[in-house]
Structure 1
Amino acid sequence: MNSTQIKCFLSLGKTLNFTQTAQDLYLAQPTVSKNIHNLEKEIGVTLISHKHRQIQLTKEGQYFYQILLRLSTEMENTIKKMQDSKITTLHTISIGYSGLPFEKQFLPIFIQLMQQKDKWNIELKAVSLSQPGILDKIAKHEIDFMIYQSDFFAQNSLPYSPMIEAGFSVIIRRDSPLKKYAQVPISALNKKIFLWDGNTPLSSVAKLKRALKEEISDNALEIQIIHKVSLATMLVQAKDGIAIVPSFAYDYNNQDVFYRYLDWDYTTKYGLGYVKEKENAPYFKDVITNMHKAINLVKEKWNK
């Protein structure tokens, strides 16, 4: 008794029609008849009868059909459970992110790349960097990798894998005279400045603040520190001032303001922070490689 014989009999028991069974199984009708005949011969029992040109299951055939149907259903359920178990046992890798527009562009691509090997399940965790305890989450392995600026991790001696390097950008109103600059010189910033900084002050922002004070006279400089990038755009739109944020925070979909590079010879890196043990994890190389690929794919779209 082979699988083809069983499939033919189960289908015939349902359709009671050789032609329909042949069509359902993509077999020739004589092939179906031969398989049923061989099955009856092998088990020594008549399974079907012909009455008035109609197919019927014999009493033995009905019993055998119910047994095979139950076994087939159990087999399908077992296979499904095994497949579901395989999905749930994929290793989950947690990635902390702050919600920058740039992240929303490349993270879906990164997830697709990671899932191609059918080994890793990515769990994204939105993290508010204005809240304390982020580094504790990394140390306790509640977050495997955190996407953020390099100087945030440098202050705490955590390993870091850089992905992209950039400077700072100026956010201005659409009617601002600063829009004429491709790169805005610091000397032209003579208005109120909303300067983004992390809840844990970053060395790159501290250097920028010193540069601003050195090049702009005190009576023309008013700096207000903000901790959310999303707030920067809102304040620029609502008030007479400009905002300075890392270029990683560039929102390409926001048509209400202009972004211009700040003409300042300093760059900072953006990438993944983690604990040292992660470098020995089986997924470490895949995470680093695929995030590089995802970011580069997004960068190519910018260039186009």
Structure 2
Amino acid sequence: MYLEHLTTFVNLVETLNFSKTAVNLNISQSSISQAIASIEKQLGVTLFYRSRKAVSLTPAGQEFYDRVKPWLNEYNKAVQHVQQVQNAQKMNLTIGYSGTPYEHTVVPELVRAFCQEHPQINVFLENYAHQELKGHLTHGNCDVIFTMPDIIAGMDNLAYHSLLIGYYCLIVPSEVKLGPPPISLEELSKNRLIFLDHRWCPPTQDQLQKEICRNNHSLDLAYVNNIATARAMVKARLGWGIWANFVSDPNDLDLKKLPLSTKIVPDYGVAILKQGSPQAARQFVSWLEKTGLPG
């Protein structure tokens, strides 16, 4: 199986568009079809559903992508690492994050500042859901992850470093008028609420959502499986969101955060391996603890 074919497969999964992949990789659409056909023949499975209007992944295609993408990332990093070792230039550091609006805004700024102070460290970023990030950290595919202590609870091989103690809040459009915060949980029945699916959200948020349900006999609820969708629905005026203050984009003036009246307190920070964590990861954590995070 050729590396170029795997690269083509991964790109097509991420675009689901032959034309975009052709532009991204500077190859013809027929070359893409040949690469996918070659992989499918060798594996003996169908990777994509194809029609004249759309391309989508089969279950086998999704499974293959989930396993190939981290490997391909590691291969590319290994190539660069070997080249750098040859020239004795830099240490590598891979930082994982789940892609909250806060992280999309703050992480690039933090990494840029860190790299300015530590030019000898070559930084990579990866964006995955919480469960995948934990696995990547445990298996050495990344070196440090932004997370919460309840997400990694029970993982004795990980060391957690708290950076920000936050609060859970009601997320509403800026024009919404409610009483002075903190907002009581009983007030949340006034409008449709957007909850995160318990399989995706942090355990403390799942706990809070259950508490809200106990305090309200009648709720209009919508469940979504990621924070980006929840935020989009609030911005579309389709309901009110519930999440920690450090999940929101600090520069988003279209939405406002109203603290909720609850004893559940969220914590945000980073995790690294207790044993075998690379020097660059330890340096990054020390730098974060010294620098702090925007609140």
* Shorter-chain TM-score tier: 0.5 to 0.7
Aligned to 1:46: none
2:215 matches 1:215:
yes
Contact 1:194 1:223 in 2 (8 A): yes
Query: How far off is 1:200 after superposition?
Result: 4.2
> In structure 2, how many angstroms separate the alpha carbons of the residues matched to 1:133 and 1:113?
25
Q: Distance in 2 between matches of 1:85 and 1:159?
A: 28
2:250 aligned residue: 252
Give secondary structure in 2 for the equivalent of 1:252: coil
1:236 aligns with 2:234: yes
Asked if the contact 1:115–1:121 (Cα under 8 Å) also holds between the matched residues in 2, the reply is no
- The DSSP-based 3-state class of the residue aligned with 2:210 is helix
CA contact under 8 A between 2:167 and 2:244: conserved in structure 1? yes
- AA paired with 2:123? I
Instruction: Give the superposition deviation at 1:199.
Output: 3.9
Aligned 8 A contact 2:144 2:281 in 1 = no
Percentage identity across paired residues of the two chains: 17
Q: What is the TM-score when the length of structure 2 is the normalising length?
A: 0.62
**CA–CA distance in structure 1, aligned partners of residues 208 and 231 of structure 2:** 19
Q: Match of 1:72?
A: none
Q: What residue in structure 2 maps to residue 73 of structure 1? A: none
Range moving further from structure 2, 194-203 or 151-160 = 194-203
Contact 1:110 1:294 in 2 (8 A): no
Q: 2:288 pairs with 284, 287, 291, which one?
A: 291
Say whether the 8 Å CA contact 1:94–1:125 is kept in structure 2.
yes
Q: Which structure has the highest helix share of the two?
A: 1
CA distance, structure 1, for counterparts of residue 284 and residue 146 of structure 2: 12
User: Relative to structure 1, is the Cα distance of residues 294 and 127 closer, same or farther in structure 2, using a 3 angstrom cutoff?
Assistant: farther
Q: Match for residue 136 of structure 2?
A: 137
Q: Deviations over 1:74-122 (max 9, x none)?
A: xxxxxxxxxx878773110100012334332254234433542443222
Instruction: Name the counterpart of 2:152.
Output: 153
Q: Which of residues 254, 259, 271 is equivalent to 2:269?
A: 271
Counterpart residue number, 2:96: 96
Aligned length: 210
- Mark the runs of 5 or more structure 1 residues left unpaired by the alignment: 1-83, 300-304
2-side partners of 1:275 and 1:171: how far apart?
A: 34
The residue number in structure 2 matching 1:195 is 195
| Distance in 2 separating the partners of 1:170 and 1:187 | 12
Unaligned 5+ runs, structure 2: 1-83
TM-score normalised according to structure 1 size: 0.60
Shift of residue 201 of structure 1? 4.9
Structure 2 Cα separation of the partners of residues 85 and 203 of structure 1: 41
TM-superposition CA deviations, 1:233-265 (whole Å, max 9, x none): 321233452110121112222222222122212
CA distance in 2, matches of 1:231, 1:249: 13
Code of the aligned partner of 2:149: S
